[in-house]
Amino acid sequence: MKKTLWIWGATFAAALACGSAGAQTGLSIDQFGGVGTPRVLPQPKSKQSPAANACATGGGHVELNARLAACTSLIESGKWTGKDIGWAYANRCAVYSAQGRDDKALGDCIQAILLDPDSVVPYQIRGDIALKRGESDRAFADYDSAIKHGARYAAIFIDRGNLLLAKGESERAVADFNQALEINPNSARALVARGAARFTGGDFAPALADFDKAIEFMPDNSLAWFNRGSAFFAKGDAAKAAENFKQALTLSPTNAYAALWLFIASGNANAKSELQAHAAGLSQKSWPWPVVQFYLGAKDAAQTIAAASNPGEQCEAQFYVGEERAMTQAANEALPYLRKAVEICPKDFGEMIQAKSELKKLEAALPKPEEPAAKPEPADRKNMPADPAPDLKK
C-alpha cells in the first residue's frame, strides 16, 4: 500500500487518494482536496487529433481501455518520433498505472523519460510505483526529478515531504507541505501532513492548528481527527484526546489504532469493556491485533513483543507495553520499554513522539536520588600543631 501520510502504525500508512478527473485543469483530485497525479494533455498543438485527444483522456471522459487503445495506436503508427512519441508513452504509462498494471506502466515511463528527459509525469508515476514497492530512495529521486523539471502538483510535494519526514527531516518536510498548500490552500491532505511534520518536530500548537483547519475543510477526515487526538494527548489533555479518538473511530470503525488510543486516553472504568466491544469489528489477522489482545489481558508483554514481526511492529510493541505499565502506575516497569521504543522507533512514527513525551513525564515524577553527604572541610592547617619531627635514632 502506498504510504502517503505521516506514519502512525497502519493509520498513517493508509493511501486515501481517489481519482475523479478535473476536466478543466487536467488534474485528478484526491479525496483530501489535494491535487493528484496529472493527466497528460496533448502536445504539441500540431499533433492534436481525435486519437491524441482520446489518448490524453479527451477531457476526462474517455474510458481507460479506449484511452489505452488510442495511445497504442499512436505509438505503433510510426508517424511520431522524439518527444512527441515520448508524450504518447507517458500517457500510456498513466493509463497502465491507473489500471494497476505497474510493470507495464514502468516500462512505458522509462521509455518516455528516455525520449523526453524533461517530461514530468513519467517521473512522478515511476516514483509512485517505487513507493508502492517500498523503494523509498528510488521514489524520492523520481519525485525530486519531477519537481526539478517543473512539476507543480500538490500531491508530488506531499509525497516528497512524507519521504523527508520518514528520514527525520521534519523542517524540509514542512517546506514541501507549504509548497503543496501554496498550490492548493484547501488541501486537507496537505494540512494533515504538515501538522504531522510539526508534531514530529515537537511544535504541538501549530500542529493542532493544521489539524483544526483540515477538519474544517473535511469533517469526515478520520486521520485529521486521530492526529488531533494524538497532539492533545502529547500535550497532556487526555479528555480532548479521547473526544477526537472517538470521532476518528466513529468515522473508521475498523481502525485498531483509534480503538487503542481511545482506550488509553479514556482511562475510565468503562474503557476496557468499550475496547472489547470495538475489538469485534477489528481484523484479528494483522497487526496491531496482538496489542489489542494485550490490553484486553489475552496476551502478556513477552507474547506481545514476540508477535511483532518487523521493525515498525517491534517499535510499537515496546511502546504500547510501556504505555500500559505507565497507565497502571508502574513507572519503573514502564521506563525500559519506553526507552527501547525511543531507541528503535522510526523518527516519523507517532509512537516515537508519545514515548518521548511519556518518558519526560515519568522521569520528572520519579523521586530524586539523595545527594551523598558532603565531606567535612579539612581544618585550617595553620592553626594545627606541627607534626612531630620523626625520631631518626629509632
DSSP collapsed to 3 states, the chain: CCCCCCCECEHHHCCCCCCEEECCCCEEECCCCCEEEECCCCCCHHHCCHHHHHHCCCCCCCCHHHHHHHHHHHHHCCCCCHHHHHHHHHHHHHHHHHCCCHHHHHHHHHHHHHHCCCCCHHHHHHHHHHHHCCCHHHHHHHHHHHHHCCCCCHHHHHHHHHHHHHCCCHHHHHHHHHHHHHHCCCCHHHHHHHHHHHHHCCCHHHHHHHHHHHHHHCCCCHHHHHHHHHHHHHHCCHHHHHHHHHHHHHHCCCCHHHHHHHHHHHCCCCHHHHHHHHHCCCCCCCCCHHHHHHHCCCCCHHHHHHHCCCHHHHHHHHHHHHHHHHHCCCHHHHHHHHHHHHHHCCCCCHHHHHHHHHHHHHHHHCCCCCCCCCCCCCCCHHHCCCCCCCCCCC
If you average pLDDT over residues 208-218, what whole number do you get? 96
List the one residue out of 171, 230, 222 whose CA is nearest residue 204: 230
Mean pLDDT taken over the chain: 84
Least confident of 3-12, 54-63, 107-116, 343-352: 3-12
Between 61 and 315, name the one with better pLDDT.
315
Distance CA 98, CA 92 (A): 10
Q: Please give the pLDDT value at position 371.
A: 64
Q: What is the pLDDT of residue 330?
A: 87
Cell 524520492, residue located: 140
| pLDDT tens per residue across span 149-205 | 999 889 999 999 999 998 889 899 999 999 999 999 999 999 999 999 999 888 999
- The larger pLDDT score, comparing residue 168 to residue 143, is at 143
Most confident of the ranges 27-31, 39-43, 45-49, 209-213: 209-213
Alpha carbon 278 to its chain's center? 24
pLDDT band, very low/low/confident/very high, at 228 (cuts 50, 70, 90): very high
| Lookup result for grid cell 493509520 | 11
Residues of the chain with CATH 1.25.40.10: 1-11+154-218, 39-151
State the pLDDT at residue 200: 87
Whether the per-residue pLDDT at 12 is higher than 90: the answer is: no
Instruction: Report the range out of 13-17, 311-315, 389-393 with the highest average pLDDT.
Output: 311-315
Provide the pLDDT confidence category of residue 208 given band limits of 50, 70 and 90.
Answer: very high
**Average pLDDT, integer, range 50-75:** 85
Give 216's pLDDT tier (boundaries 50, 70, 90): very high
pLDDT in tens, 73-116: 999 998 888 999 999 999 999 999 999 999 999 999 999 999 99
Q: Determine the Cα–Cα distance for residues 33 and 26; give it in Å rounded to an integer.
A: 15
- The architecture (CATH level 2) of 39-151 comes to Alpha Horseshoe (1.25)
- What pLDDT score was predicted for residue 54? 87
Please report, for residues 4, 102, 178, 316, the alpha-carbon distance to residue 7 in angstroms, rounded to integers and kept in the order given: 9, 24, 19, 12
What CATH number does the domain located at 1-11+154-218 have? 1.25.40.10
Distance CA 296, CA 334 (A): 18
Least confident of 10-14, 166-170, 248-252: 10-14
Task: State residue 324's pLDDT score.
Answer: 95
User: How confident is residue 255, by pLDDT bands cut at 50, 70 and 90?
Assistant: very high
**pLDDT of amino acid 112:** 96
- How high is the pLDDT of residue 56? 83
